[in-house]
Amino acid sequence: MEFVGVGLLIRSDPQTHEVVIQQVVPDSPAANAGITNGLIVSKVDSNPMQGRPLAQCANLIRGPAGTTVQLELVTPDRSQTNSVELTRQKLKL
């Protein structure tokens, strides 16, 4: 299966309704940036993610190949927040 994105599989936490990274696709922009499973996606291009439907969050992360997306990521213990800019590309699952 081929898709365009940054290489993140996300899920919604049933308790907090936060968007959590479930899996990072190997050799993807996300993997190359050092993003790991379990991080919370708090914002995509300055849009807050908490409380949004998961499909809407995924659509904000996806986009045309070659375009960039800014993700604000928070550690599960909320001790650190990092912003990372990734370039979308074609990926295979």
Summarize pLDDT for 27-38 with one digit per residue, the tens: 999 999 999 999
Give pLDDT, residue 51.
84
Greatest Cα pair distance in the chain:
36
Amino acid in position 48: P
Give pLDDT, residue 93.
73
Phi, psi (degrees; rounded to nearest 5) at 56: -65, -40
> Which of these ranges, 2-6, 27-31, 33-37, 40-44, has the smallest mean pLDDT?
2-6
20, two tokens:
């959590």
Q: Are 23 and 37 spatial neighbours (Cβ–Cβ below 8 Å)?
A: yes
pTM to 2 decimal places: 0.92
Residue-wise pLDDT for 71-93, tens only, equals 999 999 999 999 999 999 999 87
CATH architecture of the region 2-92: Roll (2.30)
